Amino acid sequence: MSKSFVKAIEILDCFITNPEMTINELAETANMPKTTVFRLASSLEEAGLLVKKRKSSHEVTYRMGLKLLIYGKHVSQHMEYNKIALPHMKRLNKEIDELVHVTIIEGNEAVYVETVDSSKPVRLVVKIGARAPLYAGSAPKLLLSGLSNDEVDEYLKNVELKKLTKNTLDNSERIKEEIEKIRENGYSISYSENFKDTVGFSYPIYDHEGNMVAAIGVSIPDIDHTKEREDFLLVSLEKTVKKIWEETGYIQT
Protein backbone atom coordinates (compact mmCIF):
# COMPACT_ATOMS: atom_id res chain seq x y z
CA MET A 1 0.00 0.00 0.00
CA SER A 2 1.27 3.50 -0.87
CA LYS A 3 2.94 5.27 2.06
CA SER A 4 1.31 8.54 1.00
CA PHE A 5 -2.10 6.86 1.07
CA VAL A 6 -1.47 5.54 4.58
CA LYS A 7 -0.35 8.98 5.74
CA ALA A 8 -3.47 10.55 4.21
CA ILE A 9 -5.62 8.12 6.22
CA GLU A 10 -3.68 9.11 9.34
CA ILE A 11 -4.49 12.75 8.59
CA LEU A 12 -8.21 11.91 8.40
CA ASP A 13 -7.93 9.95 11.65
CA CYS A 14 -6.83 13.14 13.41
CA PHE A 15 -10.27 14.66 12.89
CA ILE A 16 -11.93 11.93 14.95
CA THR A 17 -10.81 13.64 18.14
CA ASN A 18 -10.71 17.23 16.89
CA PRO A 19 -13.24 18.22 14.20
CA GLU A 20 -11.42 21.37 13.02
CA MET A 21 -7.67 22.03 12.89
CA THR A 22 -5.03 24.25 11.37
CA ILE A 23 -2.05 22.84 9.47
CA ASN A 24 0.15 23.37 12.53
CA GLU A 25 -2.33 21.51 14.75
CA LEU A 26 -2.61 18.70 12.21
CA ALA A 27 1.16 18.40 11.95
CA GLU A 28 1.45 18.16 15.73
CA THR A 29 -1.43 15.68 16.08
CA ALA A 30 -0.27 13.47 13.21
CA ASN A 31 3.40 13.84 14.18
CA MET A 32 4.37 14.67 10.59
CA PRO A 33 6.36 17.49 8.98
CA LYS A 34 4.28 20.57 8.23
CA THR A 35 5.14 20.40 4.49
CA THR A 36 3.91 16.79 4.30
CA VAL A 37 0.68 17.63 6.11
CA PHE A 38 0.04 20.63 3.84
CA ARG A 39 0.56 18.50 0.70
CA LEU A 40 -1.72 15.71 1.94
CA ALA A 41 -4.39 18.10 3.21
CA SER A 42 -4.43 19.86 -0.19
CA SER A 43 -4.91 16.51 -1.96
CA LEU A 44 -7.68 15.49 0.44
CA GLU A 45 -9.36 18.85 -0.09
CA GLU A 46 -9.18 18.40 -3.86
CA ALA A 47 -10.82 14.96 -3.48
CA GLY A 48 -13.63 16.44 -1.38
CA LEU A 49 -12.61 14.59 1.79
CA LEU A 50 -11.50 17.76 3.59
CA VAL A 51 -12.95 21.28 3.49
CA LYS A 52 -10.76 24.36 3.99
CA LYS A 53 -12.13 27.33 5.91
CA ARG A 54 -10.33 30.68 5.91
CA LYS A 55 -10.94 32.46 9.23
CA SER A 56 -8.57 35.33 8.51
CA SER A 57 -5.72 36.18 6.16
CA HIS A 58 -3.38 34.29 8.50
CA GLU A 59 -5.58 31.48 9.81
CA VAL A 60 -6.92 28.57 7.76
CA THR A 61 -8.54 25.49 9.25
CA TYR A 62 -9.63 22.15 7.84
CA ARG A 63 -12.54 19.85 8.65
CA MET A 64 -13.93 16.64 7.17
CA GLY A 65 -15.93 17.02 3.95
CA LEU A 66 -19.48 15.86 3.32
CA LYS A 67 -18.17 13.27 0.85
CA LEU A 68 -17.17 11.16 3.85
CA LEU A 69 -20.80 11.29 4.97
CA ILE A 70 -21.80 9.82 1.60
CA TYR A 71 -19.29 7.00 2.07
CA GLY A 72 -20.55 6.43 5.60
CA LYS A 73 -24.15 6.32 4.41
CA HIS A 74 -23.20 3.79 1.74
CA VAL A 75 -21.52 1.54 4.32
CA SER A 76 -24.37 1.90 6.82
CA GLN A 77 -26.93 0.99 4.14
CA HIS A 78 -25.10 -2.26 3.45
CA MET A 79 -24.88 -2.94 7.18
CA GLU A 80 -28.62 -2.32 7.38
CA TYR A 81 -29.30 -4.86 4.63
CA ASN A 82 -27.04 -7.36 6.39
CA LYS A 83 -29.03 -6.84 9.59
CA ILE A 84 -32.31 -7.40 7.71
CA ALA A 85 -31.02 -10.48 5.90
CA LEU A 86 -29.31 -12.27 8.81
CA PRO A 87 -32.41 -13.65 10.62
CA HIS A 88 -33.72 -14.96 7.30
CA MET A 89 -30.32 -16.47 6.51
CA LYS A 90 -30.33 -18.29 9.84
CA ARG A 91 -33.81 -19.67 9.25
CA LEU A 92 -32.84 -20.83 5.76
CA ASN A 93 -29.66 -22.40 7.12
CA LYS A 94 -31.67 -24.27 9.75
CA GLU A 95 -33.99 -25.57 7.03
CA ILE A 96 -31.36 -26.70 4.50
CA ASP A 97 -28.16 -26.97 6.61
CA GLU A 98 -25.96 -25.48 3.89
CA LEU A 99 -23.66 -22.47 3.70
CA VAL A 100 -25.71 -19.28 3.27
CA HIS A 101 -24.01 -15.98 2.39
CA VAL A 102 -24.64 -12.36 1.47
CA THR A 103 -22.36 -10.64 -1.02
CA ILE A 104 -21.99 -7.03 -2.18
CA ILE A 105 -19.97 -5.20 -4.83
CA GLU A 106 -16.96 -3.25 -3.64
CA GLY A 107 -14.93 -1.72 -6.43
CA ASN A 108 -14.54 -4.38 -9.12
CA GLU A 109 -14.97 -7.34 -6.78
CA ALA A 110 -17.64 -9.22 -4.89
CA VAL A 111 -17.16 -9.25 -1.11
CA TYR A 112 -18.76 -11.76 1.26
CA VAL A 113 -20.13 -9.65 4.12
CA GLU A 114 -22.27 -12.19 6.01
CA THR A 115 -22.17 -15.99 6.24
CA VAL A 116 -23.99 -18.75 8.13
CA ASP A 117 -22.15 -22.09 8.04
CA SER A 118 -23.48 -25.58 7.60
CA SER A 119 -23.11 -28.07 10.46
CA LYS A 120 -22.36 -30.99 8.11
CA PRO A 121 -19.05 -32.87 8.50
CA VAL A 122 -18.24 -32.15 4.84
CA ARG A 123 -19.16 -28.52 4.26
CA LEU A 124 -18.06 -25.34 2.57
CA VAL A 125 -16.66 -22.38 4.50
CA VAL A 126 -16.30 -18.81 3.23
CA LYS A 127 -14.81 -16.18 5.52
CA ILE A 128 -16.44 -12.78 5.90
CA GLY A 129 -14.36 -10.35 3.88
CA ALA A 130 -13.40 -12.92 1.24
CA ARG A 131 -13.36 -11.48 -2.26
CA ALA A 132 -14.10 -12.86 -5.71
CA PRO A 133 -14.04 -11.50 -9.27
CA LEU A 134 -17.45 -10.53 -10.62
CA TYR A 135 -17.30 -13.00 -13.51
CA ALA A 136 -16.95 -16.18 -11.40
CA GLY A 137 -19.45 -17.70 -8.96
CA SER A 138 -23.21 -17.40 -8.58
CA ALA A 139 -23.27 -14.33 -6.32
CA PRO A 140 -20.56 -12.37 -8.17
CA LYS A 141 -22.18 -13.03 -11.57
CA LEU A 142 -25.54 -11.98 -10.18
CA LEU A 143 -24.09 -8.71 -8.90
CA LEU A 144 -22.46 -8.13 -12.29
CA SER A 145 -25.83 -8.66 -13.98
CA GLY A 146 -27.24 -5.85 -11.84
CA LEU A 147 -24.97 -3.30 -13.53
CA SER A 148 -25.93 -1.47 -16.71
CA ASN A 149 -24.68 -2.82 -20.05
CA ASP A 150 -22.22 0.08 -20.29
CA GLU A 151 -20.88 -0.68 -16.81
CA VAL A 152 -20.54 -4.37 -17.70
CA ASP A 153 -18.65 -3.47 -20.90
CA GLU A 154 -16.34 -1.15 -18.95
CA TYR A 155 -15.70 -3.84 -16.33
CA LEU A 156 -14.92 -6.54 -18.91
CA LYS A 157 -12.67 -4.15 -20.84
CA ASN A 158 -10.50 -3.50 -17.78
CA VAL A 159 -10.50 -6.82 -15.92
CA GLU A 160 -8.10 -9.69 -16.59
CA LEU A 161 -10.23 -12.81 -17.06
CA LYS A 162 -8.44 -15.70 -15.37
CA LYS A 163 -9.29 -19.38 -15.28
CA LEU A 164 -9.85 -20.00 -11.57
CA THR A 165 -11.21 -23.49 -12.31
CA LYS A 166 -11.81 -25.40 -15.54
CA ASN A 167 -15.40 -24.09 -15.51
CA THR A 168 -14.59 -20.39 -15.09
CA LEU A 169 -16.03 -18.21 -17.83
CA ASP A 170 -13.01 -16.39 -19.27
CA ASN A 171 -14.53 -15.03 -22.48
CA SER A 172 -16.31 -11.66 -22.52
CA GLU A 173 -19.02 -12.75 -24.95
CA ARG A 174 -19.81 -15.88 -22.95
CA ILE A 175 -19.99 -13.79 -19.77
CA LYS A 176 -22.42 -11.37 -21.44
CA GLU A 177 -24.57 -14.32 -22.55
CA GLU A 178 -24.55 -15.60 -18.98
CA ILE A 179 -25.58 -12.16 -17.68
CA GLU A 180 -28.57 -12.09 -20.03
CA LYS A 181 -29.55 -15.57 -18.86
CA ILE A 182 -29.36 -14.45 -15.22
CA ARG A 183 -31.46 -11.35 -15.91
CA GLU A 184 -34.06 -13.50 -17.66
CA ASN A 185 -34.20 -16.14 -14.89
CA GLY A 186 -33.94 -13.74 -11.95
CA TYR A 187 -31.28 -15.86 -10.23
CA SER A 188 -27.79 -17.22 -10.82
CA ILE A 189 -26.20 -20.67 -10.68
CA SER A 190 -22.51 -21.57 -10.68
CA TYR A 191 -21.07 -25.02 -11.19
CA SER A 192 -17.52 -24.90 -9.78
CA GLU A 193 -16.61 -21.58 -11.45
CA ASN A 194 -14.93 -19.80 -8.54
CA PHE A 195 -14.14 -22.69 -6.20
CA LYS A 196 -13.62 -26.26 -7.36
CA ASP A 197 -16.16 -28.93 -6.41
CA THR A 198 -18.89 -26.47 -5.41
CA VAL A 199 -22.30 -25.52 -6.72
CA GLY A 200 -23.80 -22.12 -5.88
CA PHE A 201 -27.22 -20.51 -6.19
CA SER A 202 -27.96 -16.80 -5.67
CA TYR A 203 -30.90 -14.40 -5.71
CA PRO A 204 -30.76 -10.57 -5.66
CA ILE A 205 -31.59 -8.38 -2.68
CA TYR A 206 -33.25 -5.16 -3.86
CA ASP A 207 -33.86 -1.89 -2.04
CA HIS A 208 -37.20 -0.09 -2.10
CA GLU A 209 -36.29 1.59 -5.40
CA GLY A 210 -35.51 -1.71 -7.11
CA ASN A 211 -31.73 -1.32 -7.01
CA MET A 212 -29.75 -4.52 -6.50
CA VAL A 213 -27.82 -3.90 -3.28
CA ALA A 214 -26.61 -7.42 -2.49
CA ALA A 215 -26.89 -11.09 -3.38
CA ILE A 216 -28.03 -13.85 -1.05
CA GLY A 217 -26.69 -17.26 -1.94
CA VAL A 218 -26.38 -20.91 -0.98
CA SER A 219 -23.28 -22.97 -1.75
CA ILE A 220 -22.96 -26.76 -1.48
CA PRO A 221 -20.29 -29.40 -2.20
CA ASP A 222 -20.84 -30.79 -5.68
CA ILE A 223 -20.94 -34.33 -4.27
CA ASP A 224 -24.29 -33.36 -2.70
CA HIS A 225 -25.69 -31.93 -5.92
CA THR A 226 -28.62 -33.52 -7.70
CA LYS A 227 -31.30 -31.97 -9.88
CA GLU A 228 -33.82 -32.57 -7.11
CA ARG A 229 -31.55 -30.91 -4.54
CA GLU A 230 -30.98 -27.96 -6.88
CA ASP A 231 -34.72 -27.43 -7.39
CA PHE A 232 -35.36 -27.63 -3.65
CA LEU A 233 -32.63 -25.12 -2.81
CA LEU A 234 -33.77 -22.66 -5.48
CA VAL A 235 -37.33 -22.76 -4.17
CA SER A 236 -36.16 -22.34 -0.55
CA LEU A 237 -33.84 -19.48 -1.50
CA GLU A 238 -36.56 -17.72 -3.50
CA LYS A 239 -38.98 -17.91 -0.56
CA THR A 240 -36.31 -16.47 1.72
CA VAL A 241 -35.36 -13.58 -0.54
CA LYS A 242 -39.01 -12.61 -1.04
CA LYS A 243 -39.33 -12.25 2.74
CA ILE A 244 -36.24 -10.03 2.71
CA TRP A 245 -37.77 -7.94 -0.09
CA GLU A 246 -40.82 -7.34 2.09
CA GLU A 247 -38.57 -5.79 4.73
CA THR A 248 -36.51 -3.71 2.30
CA GLY A 249 -39.69 -2.32 0.76
CA TYR A 250 -39.11 -3.82 -2.69
CA ILE A 251 -42.33 -4.56 -4.58
CA GLN A 252 -41.98 -7.22 -7.25
CA THR A 253 -43.67 -6.27 -10.53
pLDDT in tens, 99-109: 999 999 988 89
Question: How many Å apart are CA 76 and CA 245, to the nearest integer?
Answer: 18
Interval 204-240: pLDDT, tens: 999 888 989 999 999 999 999 999 999 999 999 999 9
pLDDT score, position 82: 81
Look up the CATH superfamily of 71-248.
GAF domain (3.30.450.40)
Could you give the C-alpha distances from 238 to 66, 137, 200, 201, in angstroms and in order? Answer: 38, 18, 14, 10
pLDDT score, position 76: 59
So where are the chain's domains?
Answer: 3-64, 71-248
Q: How confident is the model at residue 74 (pLDDT cuts 50, 70, 90)?
A: low
Q: How confident is the model at residue 78 (pLDDT cuts 50, 70, 90)?
A: low
pTM for the model: 0.71
Question: How many Å apart are CA 52 and CA 46, to the nearest integer?
Answer: 10
Query: What CATH architecture applies to the domain 3-64?
Result: Orthogonal Bundle (1.10)
Q: Do domains 3-64 and 71-248 have the same CATH topology?
A: no
Q: In whole numbers, what is the pLDDT of the chain averaged over residues?
A: 91
pLDDT score, position 58: 77
Percentage of the chain surpassing pLDDT 70? 95
Could you give the C-alpha distances from 42 to 30, 37, 45, 56, 99, in angstroms and in order? Answer: 15, 8, 5, 18, 47
